[in-house]
Homo-oligomer: A and B are copies of this chain.
Amino acid sequence: MKTIVVVLATLLIACPAARSAQPPLRANGERVVQHLMALSEFGKNPQGGVSRVAYTDADRAGREYVMGLMRDAGLKVSIDTAGNLVGERAGTDIKLKPIVIGSHIDSVPEGGNYDGDVGSLSAVELAQTLNEHHIAMRHPLQVIIFENEEGIMLGSTAIGRGLDTARLNSVSQSGKTVRDGVRFLGGDPERIAESKRVPGSIEAYIELHIEQGGVLDQEHLQIGVVEGIVGIEDAEVTVEGIANHAGTTPMNQRHDAMLAAARFVEMLNRVVTGIPGRQVGTVGWIKAQPGAYNVVPGRVTLGMELRDLDAKRVQDMFEQIRAEADVIGRANGATFRFEQHSLSAPALTDPRLQAVIGESAKRLGLSTKLMPSGAGHDAQEMAHLGPIGMIFIPSVGGLSHAPKEFSRPEDIGNGANVLLKTVLGLDRPAEAN
């Protein structure tokens, strides 16, 4: 009997196509949810959600917990010089490059329990499922839990593009410098360059994540197949008028920076919504000077950003906005000045990976939608190394970066299974697909 089992296992390892004869392999969604709940204890807030900000005690404790899960899943775990957790599982074909999966477990202050965590724990679950079913993949598998994703994607930048070491000196939200934070997580900031990988060195990077928007939830769809991660351009805009007494300055003698700024906000909205597409544009902060009830503001500064998958469209919108701002300025006796920054270029996902993800979802009987990711993800940094794919599950009410962030257990299970099916699909030799 023992001999037969060994022979069968050997057959499975040697011949993945033979798996189709087995009952379909399933990731254990309930276990992912149990692990999510356990992880949510690290940095738990009394009012719900977590504050597991990168480089805090809660972050490190959470990472140690996940490291334990990774070891339980049979992964060989190490911490790279950037402080990323890397879990490795050997493949059967030493000529093949690794398939990499993962996400992050750090949160924004007063964040939720799903952003990053769902993808991280589903990646660990994938390894655990393979292990429990004694399934070998042809490609090596790597599960990476990136460090300090929120806001700055530090760990994935170190792996993907390579980190500008000047950023080690910046102070992170934890209060620690990035250098101290990386060391705190077990990295080696002085050797952080060694964590960078060579372009072309990965077979694919696949990340499961909550949508963080309300599209899937509103349209009652189960899986988002991500077309790409939008590029972001932002600008600090300064509107210069002339400050004057709000009582003694007649309306027709004003150079009211507030009125010009208001017209700018409205114009930006009109430009962004005036063309078909899913581009977004936002004015997120604003400040008036001197900023008193009884003074016509002489200067208003505000922060705007534009996002789209198409970098040219973003530039075109920016140009139109600048041109229309000049017109608003002239009409209001004010001037506009832009300090524009390219925060990130669009990172498109690989069409082949999109197809494998879509096909995997379909085989699981799940509805899908091809959609952009409006938020940044570690995947965009991994795009420097090879093809990327992303899987979204619904965020109830579109809420994210908040204690009320929520994804349903069945959606988490669906996501974990699409991830599993996608990775196994990629692992199959071309002729087997």
Q: Does A295 reach chain B (CB closer than 8 Å)?
A: yes
**A294 on interface, CB distance cutoff 8 Å:** yes
Give every chain B residue within 8 A of A272 (Cβ-Cβ). 251
Bound form: Cα–Cα A213–B248 in Å: 5
Known: A246-B305, A248-B398, A288-B285. A262 touches B253 (CB 8 A): no
Q: Is the interface of A mostly helix, strand, loop or mixed?
A: mixed
* B-side contacts of A373, CB under 8 Å: 247-248
Report whether A293 and B398 are in contact in the complex, using a CB–CB cutoff of 8 Å: no
A134 to chain B, nearest CB (A): 39
Do A248 and B288 contact each other (CB < 8 Å), given the known contacts A266-B262, A305-B293?
A: no
Instruction: Compute how far the CA of A286 lies from the CA of B230 in the bound complex, rounded to whole angstroms.
Output: 30
Chain B CB within 8 A of A284 CB:
yes
Q: Mark A211-242, 1 if CB is under 8 A from B, else 0.
A: 11111001000000000001010100000000
Interface size for A (C-beta < 8 A) is: 61
A249 interface contact, C-beta 8 A: yes
B248 touches A211 (CB 8 A): yes
Q: Which of B247, B304, B401 contacts A376 (CB 8 A)?
A: B247
- Does A250 belong to the interface (CB within 8 Å)? yes
CA distance A307 to B251 in the complex (A): 11
> Given A247-B230, A258-B265, are A296 and B278 also a contact pair (CB < 8 Å)?
no
CB distance from A337 to the nearest CB of B (A): 17
Docked-complex contact A251 and B266, CB < 8 angstroms: no
Q: How far is the CB of A93 from chain B (nearest CB, A)?
A: 38
Of B281, B294, B398, which one neighbours A305 at CB under 8 angstroms? B294
Assess whether A375 is interfacial by the CB under 8 Å rule. Answer: yes
Are A258 and B230 CB-contacts (below 8 A) given A218-B253, A247-B307, A373-B248?
no
Alpha-carbon distance between A155 and B278 when the two chains are bound, in angstroms: 60
Return A96 CB to nearest CB of chain B, in Å: 35
Check A245 for interface membership: any CB of B closer than 8 A. yes
Among A235-277, those with CB < 8 Å from B are 244-253, 256, 258-259, 261-266, 269, 272-273
Given the complex, which residues of B lie within 8 Å of A288, measured CB to CB? 284-286
A292 at the interface (CB under 8 A from B): yes
A398 to B253, Cβ gap below 8 A?
Answer: yes
Say which residue of B286, B293, B375 sits within 8 Å of A247 (CB atoms).
Answer: B375
**Chain B contacts for A25, CB-based, 8 A:** none
In the assembled complex, the Cα of A249 lies from the Cα of B284 at a distance in Å of 13
Give bound CA distance, A375 to B247, whole Å: 5
Contact B292 A285 (CB under 8 A): yes
User: Is A51's beta carbon under 8 Å from chain B?
Assistant: no
CB within 8 Å for A246 and B213 given contacts A253-B398, A262-B266, A266-B263: no
C-alpha gap A246/B399 in the complex (Å): 12
Complex alpha-carbon distance, A261 and B261, angstroms: 11
- Nearest to A264 among chain B residues (CB) is B262
Confirm or deny: A351 has a beta carbon within 8 angstroms of a beta carbon on chain B.
no
What's the Cα separation between A303 and B294 when bound, in Å? 9
Q: Which residue of B lies closest to A292 (CB)?
A: B284
Contact status A273-B246, CB under 8 Å:
no
A263 to chain B: which residues have CB within 8 Å? 262, 266
Q: Which residue of B lies closest to A295 (CB)?
A: B284
User: Which of chain A's residues 358-403 have a Cβ closer than 8 Å to chain B?
Assistant: 373-376, 398-401
Sample 15 A-B pairs with CB under 8 A, ordered by A number. A212-B248, A215-B253, A232-B247, A245-B374, A246-B284, A248-B373, A248-B400, A250-B280, A252-B273, A253-B398, A259-B265, A262-B265, A284-B296, A285-B288, A286-B291
Chain A residues in the interface with B (C-beta under 8 A): 211-215, 218, 230, 232, 234, 244-253, 256, 258-259, 261-266, 269, 272-273, 278, 280-288, 291-297, 300, 303-305, 307, 373-376, 398-401
Which 6 pairs, one residue from A and one from B, show the smallest C-beta to C-beta distance?
Answer: A213-B248, A247-B374, A262-B265, A246-B282, A248-B374, A262-B262
Q: A248-B375, A284-B292 given; name 19 further pairs at CB < 8 Å.
A: A212-B245, A213-B250, A215-B250, A230-B247, A245-B401, A246-B282, A246-B284, A247-B280, A249-B374, A249-B398, A251-B269, A251-B273, A258-B282, A261-B262, A263-B266, A284-B288, A285-B292, A286-B291, A293-B305
